[in-house]
Structure 1
């Protein structure tokens, strides 16, 4: 009568094995709508040079496949991927969806010079990991990107914000832009991202959520 209770453990083991099997194939070389209550970025004037740089960052269409300069770096990534897959399982049951999401989080956050744990914490607070989340002010997707960004630095197609990589790329590029603008002040950066600059509630929520996604290799 105890056999059924063991299945979740067996399934989790198989999921971890699939993560490793899939990720070991990586090359060695570095590269309905659901409601959300989060706020949204405020549209602000951008210098032409900044607009051009952000547009260029968004336009790069390289696939989200991490590349590594050494076997050690790749193994560190595999350990991260396995640990994060276990933690994300309650929110994303499907193995393929979960793995692709985490791989893209890693790729886009590293590409933007951000910690994956910070981006995961932000996604948790902004959309609770819901791909089609929409806030009361119209912010969309995993990272709750405001549609005006597609007009300012993209091709104007706000529907693309429901595409996983597009949403995560926009979100990471915007967050990096705000971090640079705030000269590295993460508290003010997060407030600006949420449209609540200077208020503690949102930064505290994201930084608190980030702790769940920190990985000690």
Structure 2
């Protein structure tokens, strides 16, 4: 008797639990929908994007710095296969640590999102035109940036846009991560994308994250 066919969700969850990179064809990445923004929201998002502070973590307590270094070492080892160059890998992790905390996000969750969205490819482009690590739709550059969508391939710019946008969606959904992830992907209310991100995030779990 033939085995039952796996659903799309089963495939996504299995790939995440095995630590496999999400294939672009399995999840429609970068599908944020352009929606009207109140002037106050647009101004707040623009200000959050424009802050030019360098992505260098600062610590007032030794234990917090040691926790960060433990996380950085473990995450670097896990990311080595995808980013063989040590300096590139450390800069990416340092920036994602900084930007997630700046936006009040869970670093582990955002790493899972990046895995699903771009498989950690800096110059990834989706079939709908989303760009970079966090697959940012170009219209965001016009709405809250300087209008130059090519800058979305810059590592810090892309991660900052992605974190600010996800924070915006979380605020809109009153902290509901499931719904905010769906909104980020343009599939609000459907389970495939949030479940894929949750599964991928397990690969980046660390006690100091």
**Same-fold status (TM-score > 0.5):** yes
Three-state SS of the structure 2 residue aligned to 1:150 is helix
State the partner residue of 1:58: 49
4+ residue segments displaced more than 2 Å: none
> How far apart are residue 69 of structure 1 and its match?
1.4
> How far apart are residue 63 of structure 1 and its match?
0.7
**Quick one: distance in 1 between partners of 2:59 and 2:67?**
10
> How far apart are residue 94 of structure 1 and its match?
0.3
State the partner residue of 1:149: 140
State the partner residue of 1:41: 32
2:175 is aligned, of 173, 177, 184, to 184
Is it true that 1:204 corresponds to 2:206 in the alignment? no
1:122 is aligned, of 102, 105, 113, to 113
**Quick one: distance in 2 between partners of 1:117 and 1:138?**
26
> How far apart are residue 39 of structure 1 and its match?
3.7
**Quick one: distance in 2 between partners of 1:199 and 1:69?**
41
State the partner residue of 1:23: none
> How far apart are residue 40 of structure 1 and its match?
1.4
State the partner residue of 1:174: 165
Q: Which has the higher contact order (CA 8 A, sep 6+)?
A: 2
Residue deviations 1:72-94 (CA, integer Å, cap 9, x gap): 11011000000100110110000
State the partner residue of 2:4: none
**Quick one: distance in 1 between partners of 2:145 and 2:155?**
15
**Quick one: distance in 1 between partners of 2:182 and 2:176?**
10
Is it true that 1:164 corresponds to 2:158 in the alignment? no
| Structure 1 residues without counterparts, runs of 5 or longer | 1-34
How many residues align? The count is: 183
Three-state SS of the structure 2 residue aligned to 1:146 is coil
Residue deviations 1:85-140 (CA, integer Å, cap 9, x gap): 01101100000000000000000000000011011000000000000000000000
Residue deviations 1:124-172 (CA, integer Å, cap 9, x gap): 0000000000000000000000000000000000000000000000000
> How far apart are residue 38 of structure 1 and its match?
1.4
Is it true that 1:78 corresponds to 2:65 in the alignment? no
Is it true that 1:108 corresponds to 2:99 in the alignment? yes
